[in-house]
Amino acid sequence: MTRLTITRASVTKTFEEQFAALPRLHFALTDAARHFIMLDQPAWFLRQLDAFLAGPEKATEDRGFAP
């Protein structure tokens, strides 16, 4: 059986390329969740969501792709 290796760098690169045309966004990635982030890491997810809702303009100043 072949095992697929997905790295943080490859995921970040893929998202950065896919969303390059968006003028504003903030990308957030956690290493501790799988597909359903809001269920796997609810506290982390809510912190990210609260920060965005408190100031979307501020949150999107940093696109979030830097390591």
Q: Where are the domains of the chain?
A: 8-59
User: What are the start-end ranges of the E strands in the chain?
Assistant: none
Cα angle 55-61-62, degrees, rounded to a multiple of 5:
115
pLDDT digits 0-9 by tens, 7-61: 889 989 999 999 999 999 999 988 888 889 999 999 999 999 999 999 999 989 8
Q: Which residues contact 49 (CB under 8 A, 6 or more apart)?
A: none
Residue type, 56: P
Give residue 49's pLDDT.
94
Distance CA 54, CA 56 (A): 7
Give residue 14's pLDDT.
92
Of all helices (H) and strands (E), which one includes residue 20?
A: none
